[in-house]
Structure 1
Amino acid sequence: MDKQRHWDSASRDRTTFALKCEFPLRLKLLRWLGRQTWLPRGQDLLLRMLCDPQTAPHFFFEIDFFGQRYRGDLAHYIDWVVFCYGAAPYSEVSLLKEVVAELRSRRCSPVNFFDVGANVGHHTLFMAPLADCVLAFEPFPPLRSLIEEKISLNALNNVVVVPFGLGERDETLEYFPGKGANPGAGTFLPNGQIHVEDSVKLTVRNGDLLCEERNFPRIDLLKVDVEGFEPFVFRGLANRIGRDRPVILTELTDASRDGFGSEAGFRASFYKSARFAEVTGRNGCEFKLRRFVYEASFEALIVPPEMAEFVETRLDG
């Protein structure tokens, strides 16, 4: 199907969003199937047969999102996941919710969430009602505008959008936007197989210097998802990570492993005696924590030793 066509011939643009009552029957079925977590296998295949985000027509929608309003486009992969499963991914947001509850049970001070690689603002929007302050770092203007749209739609007053990438030093780098249905898969590390040819120059800031310059608050919970650039983010935030000892949720890929150099290099990026776990979970399902294996884990939870019990009591198997 031509991506410029619209569901049921309904004319929609970025200023017109379909509400739940206006969804075509096929899309109502799509959302229903996405919430059938009892399906043992093949759920994603069924959903893609109904509506493949790689070929879907643009359909701009507005849905409830944990008490907030979420606007998206079915032709955008992250929005498609939210539309189908409720969150992108549900395992991460369910974990973040439990981490915030744990942090609040341990102290009375505010909880501050730093979203590095904020993309379309999914995690930022989810965390806004849970955290006292949310800082969303997103250097790519088209994505940043989607974050600002969510802030405006939900009248959020505790979110600060920071228009820079974070890295090891202050510099201007070539940024390679994601292509097709996943523009959020952009990176500062060129990979011609999955990214568009045309790059743009974006500003990257050393995290420690930027935090000091802007007088940013303590980091209590840090999420980093920057398509292989994670080692540079952590090096630039080394002082703050050592001082604040935040709980950290980060992606781990072959590209980021190359940047860390070794498991020892990865572990040295954090505070002493940190506790590590792998985060897993099917789309639409609660998180599971498993034993961390550096060479095989795709997502890592890092907590300071005083929170080791949080991990130990939740390890699966």
Structure 2
Amino acid sequence: MQLETGLKHCTALIVIKHSSLLTLYIKRETLNHYQCSKLQKAKFGKNMSLGKTFYQFLWRLPWLNISHKKSIYKTLCTYGIVHDYPFEKEFFGLKYQGNLNNSIEFSIFYLGAFEKPLLFFLRDTMEHIQRAQSGTTEYSGCFCDIGANLGQHSLFMSRFANQVYAFEPFSKVSQRLLHHINLNNIHNIRLHPVGLSDRSENLTFYAPIGRNQGIGSFDSSSLKIGNLASGKLPLVKGDDYFQEMEIANLDIVKIDVEGFEKKVLFGMQDVLKIERPIIVFEVSYGNELSFGSVQQLNEALPENYQLFTFNTRKPDGRKARKRGAKAKKTGTYQLIPLIDWRASGQDNIIACPEEKQRILPMQSTGRITVP
């Protein structure tokens, strides 16, 4: 029995090694594809078909543990083959039920979380706020998640915040959050099935159709990345809605709305001036609906806010991929002042009130446990 297990383990290592070599070979062939003759292109197509068959074979091996199939699954996805694979996993003390066919849940399964550095930053920030206000009547421990999507950030922060307000108008993903709220018997998350904007209206929502369910947007330019119009969904002006729903005492506001961040911030002007929370938001550079410069961003914020970003890029502006790959696994992060504004891409930006900068965690602690 031990010999059989050992042979299977060795075979698995050989299979993984050869699958990696095949991937490199296919990538090399792809680069030469458009410079080939018809005969060579036919050979290329045959090689691609062979690769697809090979990876399908690897995926179906019953004795190859799912933990070894990460690269195999990702490669199959590049061929347009997305297998249904439901799973249940422990998620920072909570029970999470997901599926590998969703890219966010794929990260939860293989890396423990999606955007782990951001999660750990939010946790550390809330704990710093709590320590700074300990023994006073000021601490409320409120986290606001605008663009909650599947709710991973809300679920995680429910372990550290007293109250979580999650905003998500797209029912396909918000129902997943509601499922996990009920599954884990969570009582401190309030789900609001609306989007936030600078005015109250119903707008067409452009839904994602692939594995990445995190790119749904009210921005029509998302049609260029494959999103499809899926009907109109409700948007509300933040200031009016927060007053109506008596949402107050915000400590941290996280915004991830795929290019709609400018409208969200301008719709919350009164709330931000009164509450002065620490704001963490994803900015989409080069998007017509979003900000075009640091100056434009500052105009949407109350006075005396300082801007930071995560240190994820090289000096030339390119993403530091090795550093990023490590951070995805460990959750390590480092903040640096935001100076340059890019022409394209996305970054997470932190806007911190000057009076709270002393409690802002500038780098990760390395702690991964939860209370």
What range is the shorter-chain TM-score in?
0.7 to 0.9
CA deviation map 1:247-279 (0-9, x unaligned):
111001125575324321101222222121112
Structure 2 residue 180 is the aligned partner of structure 1 residue 125: no
> 8 Å contact 1:117–1:224 — kept in the other structure?
yes
* Contact 1:118/1:138 (8 A) holds in 2: yes
Cα distance in 1 between the residues matched to 2:359 and 2:204? 39
Identity %, equivalent residues: 27
Residues 53, 80 of structure 1: 8 Å contact kept = no
Q: Does 2:265 align with 1:234?
A: yes
1:176 counterpart residue number: 206
User: Counterpart in 2 of 1:305?
Assistant: 354
Distance change >3 Å, CA 62–CA 248, structure 1 → 2: same
Which residue is equivalent to 1:28?
67
Aligned residue among 143, 149, 158 for 1:113: 143
What amino acid does structure 1 have at the position aligned with 2:265?
A: F
- Separation in 1, partners of 2:179, 2:212: 19
Picking from 303, 323, 342, the partner of 1:272 is 303
Equivalent position SS for 2:258: coil
Report if aligned partners of 1:168, 1:235 keep a CA contact under 8 Å in 2: yes
Q: Which amino acid aligns with 2:66?
A: L
Alignment of 1:47-196 (within 5 A): 48-49=74-75, 55-108=81-134, 109-190=139-220, 191-196=222-227
Distance change in 2, residues 1:301/1:115 (3 Å): same
Distance across 2 between alignment mates of 1:218 and 1:312: 21
Which amino acid letter does the alignment assign opposite residue 284 of structure 1? K
Match in the other structure for 1:12: none
Contact 1:277/1:311 (CA < 8 Å) preserved in 2? no
Q: Could you tell me how far apart the structure 1 residues matched to 2:170 and 2:190 are?
A: 15
What number of residue pairs does the alignment pair up? 285
| 1:290 alignment partner in structure 2 | 336
Residue identity in the other structure for 1:98: D
Superposition deviation, residue 27 in structure 1: 1.7
Q: Write the deviation string for residues 263-304 of structure 1: whole angstroms up to 9, x where unpaired.
A: 211012222221211124531231221231341371111111
Distance 2:280 2:160 in 1: 16
* Aligned-partner Cα distance in 2 for 1:54–1:94: 33
Query: What is the CA distance between 1:61 and its match in structure 2?
Result: 0.7
Return the TM-score normalized by structure 1: 0.82
Distance 2:265 2:173 in 1: 22
Distance 1:54 1:143, change over 3 A: farther
1:3-53 C-alpha deviation (Å, 9 max, x unpaired):
xxxx759xxxxxxxxxxxxx974422257xxxxxxxxxxxxx687348769
| Offset of residue 63 of structure 1 | 0.4
Q: Could you say which structure has the larger radius of gyration?
A: 2
CA RMSD of aligned residues (A): 2.6
| CA distance in 2 between partners of 1:237 and 1:82 (Å) | 31
Which one of the candidate residues 201, 224, 237 is aligned to 1:206? Answer: 237
Return 144-153 or 282-291, whichever deviates more.
282-291
2:361 and 2:68 map into 1 onto residues whose CA distance is 39
Distance 2:79 2:156 in 1: 22
**1:90 and 1:287 in contact (8 A); partners too:** no
Q: Structure 1: which 5+ runs fail to align?
A: 10-22, 32-44
Q: Do the aligned partners of 1:278 and 1:299 also contact (CA within 8 Å) in 2? A: yes
Give the TM-score taking structure 2 as reference length. Answer: 0.71
Q: Per-residue CA shift, 1:117-157, capped at 9, x if unaligned?
A: 00001001100111000011000111110010010111000
Quick check: 113-122 or 277-286, which moved more? 277-286
Give the stretch that moved more between structures: 263-272 or 72-81: 263-272
1:201/1:312 CA distance change after superposition, 3 Å: closer
The 1-side partners of 2:283 and 2:147 are apart by: 14
Note the residue ranges of structure 2 that are not aligned, 5 or more in a row.
Answer: 1-51, 54-58, 313-323, 365-371
Seen in structure 2, the aligned counterparts of structure 1 residues 198 and 268 have a Cα distance that, compared at 3 Å, is: closer
